[in-house]
Chains A and B, each alone.
Chain A
Amino acid sequence: MQFEWIQIPYALLTLFIILNYGLLLNAFVAKIGARVGRRIGIPIYQNYIDLIKNYGLRSSITHGVMFYLAPVFRLTGGVGLILFVPTIYGSVMFSNFSFAGDLILALYFIFFGTLGMALGAAESGHPHAAIGVSRGLSQVTMAELPLALAVFSIALQYNTLSVTEIVAAQQGGVLNWTLFTNPLAVTAAMLSFLGSVMRPPFDVVLAPQEIPIGPPTEYHSSYLALMQTNRVIYPVAKMVIFMNLFFGGADNWPVFFLKIFLIYMFAVFIGVVFPRFRVEQSIRWFLIWAVPIGILAVLVV
């Protein structure tokens, strides 16, 4: 795809939509959780206020250079992910900077933020941060394995590394989705998805009840606000990839919103049903259940 200058404002528009959607999605899910627990729950716009407040705090301190850079790395991971995958299939406006090999780049970006966070949290010097980072890295690495296998599998299946072409191959009916043409890969990837959205049963990394509150223990004011911004962009960006690879993509925004919401609710439902894993349990779980399915998916294709 040729580069045009107009792509930059288009990509920023996508980013803006995704940011707002992510903020509302998080609040909406929290609201549903509250209603299930017979509470009223947070206002739907609470996340916006929290962001403004954290950006508006007057003082902030630093523990060193990496401490500064970690939130930036984290945000780069989320924003980079969203910039290089097409959000709306067939739309020139919302294809962003997708190119022939974007799938591989996306895999890198998924891991990028975690690594930056690990460096920054380690520099903050807080013991809880160190524990959180070691747990987080081992769990995310483990969760990444089935995803990588699933991605190899469908790259072999469709014989391309371009997300756009993979979406194009799934058009023309629900039965053309990867979900039905390659269910093993989708299963492996969805299991891996559970491990990276930081919801139970895989949220031991930053569960406030276990280690308050893991890697971001020392982060505050605008650092924390940057990380909050990423925490709404990154999951949506990741779900965009899942939607494109496995669930036929979306050719307009309402379908996009609906599919992302449903993919997210998958993780939420699993999370309310199952209790939290310890980190060695979750690693074992990924090795026993998710990785073999991923290998099988590659072999079958």
Chain B
Amino acid sequence: MKEELEKRIIKGPDGLEFEVEPLRDYYCEAPPTVMPAAYSKIVEDLFNWARSESIWILGFGTGCGAIEMRPLMTPRFDAYRFGVQWRPTPRQSNLFIISGYLSVKTLKRVIRSYEQMQNPKYVIGLGSCTINGGMYWDSYNTIKRLDQYLPVDLYIAGCMPRPEALLAGFADLKKLIRSGKAEGANEYAEKFEWYKANQKRVINDWDMPDYNW
């Protein structure tokens, strides 16, 4: 654990001494809970339709696949017409695209960002690196199977997949969301222990709370 994250006594400018415990003060400790769907089916269907037609992507490119997301904003592909747009903050996004290889160092940031997103949230694994390691299959520094660390709704295979493949992926994701099958956030809450154990196995310098939203 880093020094600045440890519990310590701090003297304020007015001379008062107080105790600071960064992990406890800055984060919330409560583990994620399973969030039930809306009580009435017709309301949940409406919400699912709205969720599928308004997919906000977290603008976080983890690997080389990120370069395939940029053309989607351009006139040639124009993902906005499908209700897809990019948000700069995890709080407001619903979809996390793990674009390509994921190094262990990035995985840590990915987990933090993913946990800050609001339920329901979706994950797309882009490129073969997220499925089985791809060309990094024997790398000491990247994870091989993304679904051991985060609940993945959809994979888009290829190295690299073209932007058209991403658009097709969005269409498939929409079908999943609309049929109510994209419940990754609840799955993460249910199998929280298992996911955490997997994450901690690869991340050696674990200096964050178990769950930070």
Q: Which A positions have Cβ atoms within 8 angstroms of B?
A: 34, 37-43, 46, 49-50, 52-53, 56-61, 208, 212-213, 216-221, 224
Q: Which residues of B contact A61 (CB under 8 A)?
A: 28, 118, 213
Q: Which chain B residues lie closer than 8 Å to A224 at the CB level?
A: 91-92
Q: Give the CA-CA distance A96 to B75 in the complex, in Å.
A: 44
Residue of A whose beta carbon sits closest to that of B48: A56
B83-109 to A contact mask, C-beta < 8 Å, 1/0: 100111101101000000000000000
Q: Are B50 and A56 in contact (CB under 8 A)?
A: yes
Interchain CB contact (< 8 A) of B35 among A42, A58, A218, A219: A58
In the assembled complex, which residues on chain A have CB atoms less than 8 Å from the CB atom of B80? Answer: 34, 39-42
* A40 and B89 contacting across the interface, CB-CB below 8 Å: no
Q: Can you give 27 A-B contacts (C-beta < 8 A)?
A: A34-B78, A39-B75, A41-B78, A41-B80, A41-B81, A42-B81, A42-B83, A49-B50, A50-B54, A52-B46, A52-B54, A53-B54, A56-B51, A57-B94, A57-B120, A58-B36, A58-B37, A61-B213, A208-B86, A208-B88, A212-B59, A213-B88, A213-B89, A213-B92, A219-B91, A219-B92, A221-B118
Chain B residue contacts of A41, Cβ below 8 A = 78, 80-81
The answer to whether A52 and B88 have CB atoms under 8 Å apart is: no
Determine whether B53 belongs to the interface, using a CB cutoff of 8 Å to chain A: yes
Q: A61-B213, A224-B92 are in contact. List 16 more A-B contacts (CB 8 A).
A: A39-B78, A41-B78, A46-B53, A49-B53, A49-B54, A52-B50, A53-B47, A56-B51, A57-B119, A57-B120, A58-B35, A58-B118, A208-B86, A208-B87, A219-B91, A220-B91
A60 to B213, CA, bound (A): 10
Give min CB distance, A87 to chain B, whole Å.
30
Main secondary structure of the interface of B (DSSP, over half): loop
CA gap between A257 and B91 in the complex, in Å: 35
Q: In the complex, what residues of B have CB within 8 A of residue A213's CB?
A: 87-89, 92
- Which of B53, B87, B88, B118 is close to A57, meaning CB atoms less than 8 Å apart? B118
The B31-57 residues at the A interface (CB cut-off 8 A) are 35-38, 46-47, 50-51, 53-54
A133 vs chain B, min Cβ distance (A):
15
Q: Closest CB-CB distance, B56 to chain A, in whole Å?
A: 8
B contact residues around A34 at 8 Å (CB): 78, 80
Max chain A CB contacts within 10 Å: which of B28, B38, B119? B119
Q: How far is the CB of B55 from chain A (nearest CB, A)?
A: 9
Q: Is the CB of B35 within 8 A of A59?
A: yes
CB pair B50–A40 under 8 Å, yes or no, is no
Q: How far is the CA of A39 from the CA of B38 in the complex (A)?
A: 36
Tell me which residues across on chain A come within 8 A of B87, comparing CB atoms. 208, 213
